[in-house]
A = this chain, B = another copy of it.
Amino acid sequence: MATHDVTFWFDFGSPYAYFAHRRLPAFEKATGAHVISKPFMLGSAFAQTGARPLLDIPLKAAYAKIDLARLARFYDVPFQMPPNAPTVTLAAARIFYGLNATDPAAATTFAKAVFDAAFATGQDVSEQAVVKACLRESGLDEELAAMAQEPEWKQALKDAGAKATESGVFGAPFFVHDGEPFWGVERMDMLIAKLGPVS
């Protein structure tokens, strides 16, 4: 890994990860960092740590509703919670790895389409029709949605989850730079302070 490689761990179902994803272009510009995106299943990580989704804890869910709306204003991005959150985002994550294996730029475009579907317009990205629409919007063939059922990409996502656990990742968004962990969208500020401005 080069010094300025930063791994970005996320779940497409995490609204806080959506904000982090929205901040990526400015983050990359400010730091010159090369961001390596790694979707994983946050629910599987929670099962290992005994944590529960924020939205399943009454007091914290009420707080998160206020906090997320505030973050949207603070970062000046559109925001709408999808129905039935937290959403299980297996298909989108598997397709991301499938695309990434041969065309990283397509995977990046697809990731943006999925995050925006989930949280800019509040759609349920666990639905195949929504995933297909994200592929089309990314200029890709909607039949690529079939990658969600291919053993190779199922395994790629499982491997990512194992790697996340091994790396001490227990939440999302979660950034790792040179072994140093940064949990939460607001810790991007500390990562920017660490990496410093582009010289």
Contact = CB atoms under 8 A, between A and B. Distances in A.
Interface of A: 49-51, 57-60, 62-63, 66-67, 70, 74, 168, 170, 180-181, 183, 186-187, 189-190, 193
A64 to B, nearest CB: 10
A62 B181 CA distance: 10
A51 B57 CA distance: 9
Given A49-B57, A57-B49, A63 B190 contact: no
Contact of A63 (B51, B60, B168): B168
Contacts of A51: 57
Given A66-B180, A183-B63, A193 B74 contact: yes
A173 to B, nearest CB: 14
Contact of A190 (B62, B74, B180, B190): B74
A51 to B, nearest CB: 8
Contacts of A180: 66
A66 B183 CA distance: 11
Contacts of A59: 49, 168, 170
Given A60-B170, A74-B193, A181 B49 contact: no
A144 to B, nearest CB: 35
Contacts of A186: 186, 189
A180 B58 CA distance: 17
A60 B49 contact: yes
A77 B52 CA distance: 33
A59 B45 CA distance: 11
A56 to B, nearest CB: 11
14 contacts: A49-B58, A50-B57, A51-B57, A59-B168, A59-B170, A60-B170, A63-B183, A66-B180, A66-B181, A67-B181, A67-B183, A67-B187, A186-B186, A186-B189
